[in-house]
Amino acid sequence: RLRYRVLLGAQSGRHRRDDVRTPEHSGHSSRSGGWRAHVAIGRSRLAAYMRADDRRRRILLGSKPERPTGDRRSHPVPAPVAGDLRFLRIALGSRYTCGLTEAGDAYCWGANATGQLGDGSLQDRSVPTLVAGGMKFAQIVTSSGFGDGTAGGSAGGTAGHTCALAADQSAYCWGWNQSGELGDGTRFDRLRPTPVSGDLPFDQLAAGGAYTCGMKGSYVWCWGSNLVGQVGDGTSASYVL
């Protein structure tokens, strides 16, 4: 019998110009018998992925899915993602999605108003698009994207940032950075993976609306928006790690 852990990817956050600029795993896996399941839920999408005995299978719920044409129509039932890629992990942000293949390649698709797809452009993509740089990743996380905490917020609700963990435990982020959520010591948006400052190794990452956290062992570092104390350092002061 399959058992699932579900992660809600609809977080919200706020930002302001003097927010902290220094430095949750999107999706969970569950094992039962020889099966492994990975499920993530976003604001308007459900994606499910299953692996069994090294065979990749998509779970399609509801009636017969539409063909993966890369169109932008709403789908009332689950539809296969375009292309012949096989993903090990997926992460759902606000109006965009990212996934990691078995080889560690990162692909993203959807809204790209602030460079959250990481392909070096600001062009929306309706099919999985390879993240620039040729890097291999072990984890990828996406944000809710609403920097000011409202659906009608920055970039018309399509702002967002993405972070990924490399095999050597170094963290990279890209996309929206008006609150320093990329952790590179600036507030400049980045269109490609950019190293998080401090050379800190992390075991896992998590992305909020306009802030990010990383964990190493039982210790946590956070950076970005601190409007309501979400960085957790006891202050609302700005600083660079």
List, run by run, the mean pLDDT of 10-residue segments along the chain (241 residues): 41 40 44 45 43 38 42 84 94 95 97 96 97 98 66 62 97 95 95 96 95 96 91 72 52
Note whether 24 and 141 are within 8 A (CB): yes
Compute the distance between CA of residue 121 and CA of residue 117 in angstroms, rounded to an integer: 8
Look at residues 165, 164, 191, 166 and name the one whose alpha carbon lies nearest to residue 176.
191
Q: What amino acid occupies position 173? A: C
What pLDDT sits at residue 157? 66
Note whether 159 and 147 are within 8 A (CB): yes
What sign has the CA pseudo-torsion 95, 101, 106, 109?
negative
Note whether 106 and 133 are within 8 A (CB): no
What pLDDT sits at residue 195? 98
Look at residues 158, 101, 160 and name the one whose alpha carbon lies nearest to residue 129.
101
Compute the distance between CA of residue 145 and CA of residue 93 in angstroms, rounded to an integer: 7
What pLDDT sits at residue 73? 80
**Which residue do the tokens 């809600």 mark?**
8
What pLDDT sits at residue 12? 38
Neighbouring CB atoms inside 10 A of 113's CB total 22
Which residues are paired to 141 by β-bridges? 163
Structure tokens at 241: 């790690």
Note whether 133 and 191 are within 8 A (CB): no
Note whether 205 and 212 are within 8 A (CB): yes
What pLDDT sits at residue 156? 55
Compute the distance between CA of residue 18 and CA of residue 33 in angstroms, rounded to an integer: 50
Answering whether pTM is above 0.85, one says no
Antiparallel, parallel or unpaired: β 161-166 and 211-216: unpaired
Compute the distance between CA of residue 141 and CA of residue 161 in angstroms, rounded to an integer: 9
Neighbouring CB atoms inside 10 A of 36's CB total 15
